[in-house]
Amino acid sequence: MSVIIFTELDNGAIKKSSLEAVFYGAELAKLQGTTATVLAIGESSEAELAKAGNFGATKVLHANDARLAVSNIQAYASVLTEAVNADGADTVILAKSSLGDAVAARVAAKLKASIVSNVTALPNLSNGFVVTRSIYTGKAFASVLMKSDKKIIAIKKNAVSPVETDALAKVEVFSPALSDADFGVKLVATHKASSTISLPEADLVVSAGRGLKGPENWGIVEDLANALGAATACSKPVSDLDWRPHHEHVGQTGIKVSPNLYIAAGISGAIQHLAGVNSSKVIVVINKDPEAPFFKAADYGIVGDVFDILPRLTKAVLAAK
């Protein structure tokens, strides 16, 4: 019996959200008196993967078949399933993401496992295996009893605060038995966001809406984002108008984010937008309309003109540096 953690790589490094999952998995392993094993798929160095030990993992299984260089959901699901069986794991931990959700669903079917997503805390083991998950777009929590022998848990971003040590994990080569059926779907192209900061992984996000009046005014948003080291985002109407690329659209039908800080400039705060951002730890709203619905969800609100407030914030951030 062990806990296995599926991790995602970005340019050879384990993503921040996956490191949160590693820490969660390691803490769960401690509760169960077992060990935590990480599965890493794709190109990376032994030294980089060994850093998973900083977050509690004891071992890393590295699958680096050339065919796995790009994210292939079906193949990744087969690799994870084989790793679970090879390691004798009964619990799979991963970060909730577009890739993680797709892989987890397929692995659950293969292993006949129960699966719970959006998990926010370690399970309560006093009376079974009960996990807490966020529901209703973060407005409530549910306690879920997982009864099956195999369990899959997808961790909500920023739900845990990892404690880092200087321990290193042992890295082992993992060579799964892949078949042609695992590559029935061929990836023909990948279009990455131009931003250097991934929006789903960002700790800081500066977002704007139609209050910016046009794409030509987005420089003040980007200036603040650059000063903070933040990712940029936008509301759905902005992406629909092609003022900003669709991969920056945050909301119920776009990307859902959970940063430490979310700054919303010139966004009224429709329920669809709130559904994608209300997991943010701190929300700052800037709007000249004091009756804007977004202020009800804000931790801090500034009533004022974004064309005045944003440059002043940027100047203050740069001065503080």
Q: What is the pLDDT of residue 136?
A: 84
137 and 252 in contact (C-beta within 8 Å)? yes
Q: Are residues 11 and 66 in the same domain?
A: yes
Domains contained in the chain, number: 2
Q: What is the pLDDT of residue 70?
A: 82
Residue 13 sits in a domain of what CATH number?
Answer: 3.40.50.620
210 annotated ligand-binding residue: yes
pLDDT digits (tens, 9 = 90+) for 73-131: 999 999 999 999 999 999 999 999 989 999 999 999 999 999 999 999 999 999 999 99
- Mean pLDDT over each residue of the chain, to the nearest integer: 93
207 and 310 in contact (C-beta within 8 Å)? no
Q: What is the pLDDT of residue 50?
A: 97
Determine how many CB atoms are found less than 10 A away from the CB of residue 56.
Answer: 26
Q: What is the pLDDT of residue 196?
A: 63
Residue 190 counted as domain residue: no
Q: Are residues 33 and 175 in the same domain?
A: yes
Q: What is the pLDDT of residue 79?
A: 97
Q: Are residues 234 and 85 in the same domain?
A: no
Dist. CA 29–CA 56, nearest whole Å: 9
Q: What is the pLDDT of residue 264?
A: 97
Sorting pLDDT into bands at 50, 70 and 90, what band is 194?
low
- List residues bridging with 63 in a β-sheet: 41
Q: Are residues 38 and 97 in the same domain?
A: yes
Residue after which a domain boundary falls, among 155, 183, 211:
183
Q: Are residues 142 and 267 in the same domain?
A: no
246 annotated ligand-binding residue: no
Q: What is the pLDDT of residue 66?
A: 84
Q: What is the pLDDT of residue 139?
A: 79
Residue 121 counted as domain residue: yes
Q: What is the mean pLDDT of residues 232-243?
A: 96
Closest CA to 207 of 283, 292, 307, 312: 283
271 annotated ligand-binding residue: yes
287 annotated ligand-binding residue: yes
Residue 77 counted as domain residue: yes
pLDDT digits (tens, 9 = 90+) for 122-175: 999 999 999 999 988 777 999 999 999 999 999 998 888 899 999 999 999 999
Residue 193 counted as domain residue: no
Both tokens assigned to 137: 């777009």
Dist. CA 289–CA 264, nearest whole Å: 13
Q: What is the pLDDT of residue 195?
A: 56
Q: What is the pLDDT of residue 154?
A: 97
Q: What is the mean pLDDT of residues 239-257?
A: 93
| Residue ranges making up the domain that contains 92 | 3-183
106 annotated ligand-binding residue: no
Q: Are residues 163 and 229 in the same domain?
A: no
Question: Quick one: angle between helices 73-87 and 98-111, nearest 10?
Answer: 50
Radius of gyration of the chain measured on its C-alpha atoms: 21
Q: What is the mean pLDDT of residues 179-196?
A: 72
Q: Are residues 208 and 165 in the same domain?
A: no
Asked whether residue 56 carries a pLDDT value surpassing 60, the answer given is yes
Sorting pLDDT into bands at 50, 70 and 90, what band is 69?
confident
93 annotated ligand-binding residue: no
Phi, psi of 64 (to 5 degrees): -125, 40
Residue 257 sits in a domain of what CATH number?
Answer: 3.40.50.1220
pLDDT: which is higher, 299 or 65: 299
pLDDT: which is higher, 195 or 300: 300
Asked whether residue 193 carries a pLDDT value surpassing 90, the answer given is no
Residue 137 counted as domain residue: yes
Q: Are residues 179 and 43 in the same domain?
A: yes
108 and 101 in contact (C-beta within 8 Å)? no
Dist. CA 3–CA 14, nearest whole Å: 18
- Reading phi first (left if > 0) and then psi (alpha if -120 to 50, else beta), residue 11 is in left
Q: What is the pLDDT of residue 158?
A: 85
Residue 210 counted as domain residue: yes
Range scoring the smallest mean pLDDT among 29-33, 106-110, 193-197? 193-197
Residue 191 counted as domain residue: no
Asked whether residue 57 carries a pLDDT value surpassing 80, the answer given is yes
Q: Are residues 145 and 228 in the same domain?
A: no
Residue after which a domain boundary falls, among 154, 183, 212:
183
Residue 223 counted as domain residue: yes
Q: Are residues 273 and 152 in the same domain?
A: no
Residue after which a domain boundary falls, among 132, 159, 183:
183
Q: What is the pLDDT of residue 131?
A: 97
Q: What is the pLDDT of residue 59?
A: 97
Q: Are residues 10 and 156 in the same domain?
A: yes
269 annotated ligand-binding residue: yes
Q: Are residues 27 and 175 in the same domain?
A: yes
Q: What is the mean pLDDT of residues 251-265?
A: 93
Range scoring the smallest mean pLDDT among 60-74, 260-274, 290-304? 60-74
Sorting pLDDT into bands at 50, 70 and 90, what band is 191?
low
pLDDT: which is higher, 92 or 183: 92
CA–chain centroid gap for 57, Å, is 19
Sorting pLDDT into bands at 50, 70 and 90, what band is 192?
low
